[in-house]
Amino acid sequence: MNIYIGSDHAAFDEKAAVIEHLSKLSLKDLGTFSKESCHYPDFAKKVSKAVQDDKDSFGILLCGSGIGVSMVANRFKDIRAARCLSVEDASLSRQHNNSNVLCLAARMNSLDEIKKIIDIWLKTDFEGGRHLTRVDLFNELGC
């Protein structure tokens, strides 16, 4: 399983720490590669397209609030991006919504919280069943 990761300048340090934290996994860094000001939609697009093309993969996006990257990512067919501020958010986004892109807020969560959110998100499986029927409706909504 591949994991694609991207961030803007506001979350550059957190992304570097996450990459180190997940060093034993197949992680592909899609940028940004410096703290120089950049545009978060560029990196949200890269990660979303990579997850779209690699069906069994996951994506992790970070920006200051997690909101902007989640808004961009959710514009892509078959992407179910979830902005998660807690381990409960992360767990439910996988169990009930089969999220495949995790969006994190560098300015809202500590690095320890971000790592815990990621760990729970990666460990949690989709429950399927009644949730699958609902998730299948996502792409029928004109997305």
Catalytic residues: 63, 96
- Spatial distance between the Cα atoms of 131 and 28, rounded to a whole number of angstroms: 29
CB-based burial label for 2 (10 Å; 0-12, 13-18, 19+)? middle
Rounded distance, CA 129 to CA 17, Å? 36
Dist. CA 64–CA 67, nearest whole Å: 8
Characterize 45-74 residue by residue with b for buried, 16 or more Cβ atoms within 10 angstroms of its Cβ, and e for exposed.
bbbbbbbbeeeebbbbbbbbbbebbbebbb
Shortest CA distance to 35 belongs to which of 10, 16, 17? 10
